Structure 1
């Protein structure tokens, strides 16, 4: 029986719900296989070199910011617009995932819905984690620092931190590398895995969107102190 029928959404949404809410408890074999395959993909492929979805997410966030950032920069308006903008970004991604889940309904038999959703879950989790990239960047800093090439170590460090590295000396470079390893290990590995096991691919995406919003709006400066406050708080609570 194909899903293009009066109750075409029933099997698909049933699988979506079953594999999206606490999969570590409701379907631990599925959750474990998704995690294992996502790590295998990352170890073999690394981060996508072109058309990375996170880059697309960043572009979407920039568009939403331009649309929602108020001309009148009073505190209440900034706070309200910041909350609304974050809601729009999250809602857009949720709708996109739902459409991708339901799109093949016309050609996938109901018995294969779980297989399709499992494949989609692996791909989404693979995109949300980045252990190989993190190891490569930190190893580059370690290698150049060990060789005594402080200038190259500064350049390597600048690829993983947002601060200015031009004036950092060897002990400061090592300290910054350890700090960014700890932070990015959580943001790029531990937290996405945790939220995947709790909320399936939707949970992983929700965390990744929140984390990306925080990286773009979560600054205590004139522009983002109030507009990005909600996004920063959500990321702190999730991470």
Structure 2
């Protein structure tokens, strides 16, 4: 077995180990590195907005580069040094970095916090729970709107929080997972299309779109294979282009089609009605569908990882 095959096999085992760490432990409740990264990003924004010699878009580009590039490069250096010390140490570092870059259990727990009160007819607590994961107005949401918001969030963030970090880890190792997670975090902080961030967050939004483009298509295929395959692909083809997000639309329309339900539709953001197009096909999703959406993410990520490992084993031997 050559060195490349050995590294690929070790990487695939690290993926499975990281997924199990996430399932068993979830995200650290304290001292998560992304908390410190968020503070760093806020400091960079404050400092660079004060640089009057740069226009607002240039300030945002420089802020993005200063936030993402040094930490990604530092991860590369740490992994390379660890490889020189011990392959086992490098394996452990890869596992830990990838574990900290994904958030599958957290995503599913948020969805379950919506599912439980909905299953008991408790719309008030369901509205509170859904307000924790979406930016839309939730105060007057009915059961259908709460359910749709939960499923949309699971399907879209299944890519951002699980599949995309895994894919970038496969492509570039631990630095790739860090690169995507940091870029995605900055998009969540700066990627808004409002007066404050339209120019400053331009780089953040475009970088996240670029880094998430291929993972979103892979995620959509994984969703489709777990349900109504052709319906999922049909919804992708006919509906994804109507969504505002070039990547979110792909995974949400395909996932809804695979589940055989409709989600989306008009909703309020900051008191303004946004005419979101329906996604999927069939009857409007009810609360019983939320665990099925969770399964697309959890079973899909583990299944894909095991398939990748088995494929590499067959290739190597």
- The TM-score range, normalised by the shorter chain, is 0.7 to 0.9
For structure 2, list consecutive stretches of 5 or more residues without a partner in the other structure: 213-317
Higher strand share: 2
Higher relative contact order (CA 8 A, sep 6+): 1
Give the Cα–Cα distance (whole angstroms) in 2 for the partners of residues 194 and 118 of structure 1: 17
Q: Which residue of 2 aligns with 1:89?
A: 67
> Where do 4+ consecutive residues of structure 1 move more than 2 Å?
25-28, 94-102
Q: Which residue of 1 aligns with 2:131?
A: 158
How many angstroms does 1:71 deviate by?
A: 6.4
**Residues 57, 130 of structure 1: alpha-carbon distance in 2 compared, 3 angstrom cutoff:** same
Aligned with residue 45 of structure 2, among 60, 65, 69: 65
TM-score, with normalisation over the residues of structure 2?
A: 0.62
Aligned with residue 54 of structure 1, among 12, 31, 34: 34
Question: Match of 2:55, SS?
Answer: helix
Q: Which residue of 2 aligns with 1:238?
A: 211
**Residues 109, 59 of structure 1: alpha-carbon distance in 2 compared, 3 angstrom cutoff:** closer
Q: Which residue of 2 aligns with 1:79?
A: 57
Alignment of 1:118-137 (within 5 A): 118-137=91-110
Q: Which residue of 2 aligns with 1:213?
A: 186
Give the Cα–Cα distance (whole angstroms) in 1 for the partners of residues 87 and 179 of structure 2: 21
Give the Cα–Cα distance (whole angstroms) in 2 for the partners of residues 91 and 68 of structure 1: 16
**Residues 238, 95 of structure 1: alpha-carbon distance in 2 compared, 3 angstrom cutoff:** closer
Size of the aligned set, in residue pairs, is 210
Output one character per residue of 1:158-190: Cα deviation in whole Å (capped at 9) or x when no partner: 121222311211111011111101111011101
How many angstroms does 1:70 deviate by?
A: 4.1
For structure 1, list consecutive stretches of 5 or more residues without a partner in the other structure: 1-17
How many angstroms does 1:195 deviate by?
A: 0.4
Give the Cα–Cα distance (whole angstroms) in 2 for the partners of residues 198 and 91 of structure 1: 17
Q: Which residue of 1 aligns with 2:111?
A: 138
Q: Which residue of 2 aligns with 1:116?
A: 89
Give the Cα–Cα distance (whole angstroms) in 1 for the partners of residues 108 and 15 of structure 2: 18
| Contact 1:217-1:224 within 8 A present in 2 as well | yes
Give the Cα–Cα distance (whole angstroms) in 2 for the partners of residues 66 and 96 of structure 1: 24
Matching of residue 189 in structure 1 with residue 162 in structure 2: yes
| Contact 2:27-2:106 within 8 A present in 1 as well | yes
Question: Match of 1:84, SS?
Answer: helix
Q: Which residue of 1 aligns with 2:233?
A: none
**Residues 71, 93 of structure 1: alpha-carbon distance in 2 compared, 3 angstrom cutoff:** closer
Bigger shift: 201-210 or 162-171?
162-171
| Contact 1:217-1:227 within 8 A present in 2 as well | yes
How many angstroms does 1:120 deviate by?
A: 0.7
